[in-house]
Amino acid sequence: MDNLPESVVKTITRLQKLTDDKQRYEQLIHYGKKVTPLPLERCTEANRVPGCVSKVYIEAQLTPDGTVSYAGEADALIVKGFVGFLCVALAGLPPQVIVNLPADFLAATGLAVSLTPSRANGFLSIFQTMQIQAATLQMS
């Protein structure tokens, strides 16, 4: 975790400190409540996360200071928690940093052991969509 941005390390550490799956899920629900909601009219196919069983929508915007902010929506509480976790972890980072983050940092959360394979794939798909959107912002 030495090469990861502070916001990512801080968010991972919060989950690692929790002693059981129930606490981790409660923390995810907490993150889900922090997500900037994506207005219904922007929950379009262009913003939909592919590879998720749940309906998940993410939209990235470049802030005036050159960092990325995300808004999101999901139809499942835990999945919305994944979105919230990633929004908190990636908050305030420039697009290039997000694009270059290795996906293996997700394993450090300790969540993978308690997720079904489809949920674990969905978590990864959400992260990859956020990276793609950051890359698009970087090019504009």
Q: How far apart are CA 130 and CA 125, in angstroms?
A: 9
Domain ranges of the chain: 6-139
If 0-12 CB within 10 Å is exposed, 13-18 middle and 19+ buried, where does residue 48 land? middle
Where the chain has pLDDT below 70, the residues are 1, 113
pLDDT (0 to 100) of residue 105: 81
Alpha carbon separation from 77 to 2, 84, 105, 106, 123 (Å, rounded): 31, 10, 22, 19, 13
- Catalytic residue at 43? no
Q: Annotated catalytic residue: which of 8, 12, 28, 52? A: 52
pTM: 0.93
**8 A C-beta contact, residue 58 and residue 130:** yes
Alpha carbon separation from 130 to 46, 48, 76, 126 (Å, rounded): 13, 11, 18, 6
If 0-12 CB within 10 Å is exposed, 13-18 middle and 19+ buried, where does residue 100 land? exposed
CATH fold of 6-139, please? Sufe protein. Chain: A (3.90.1010)
pLDDT (0 to 100) of residue 19: 81
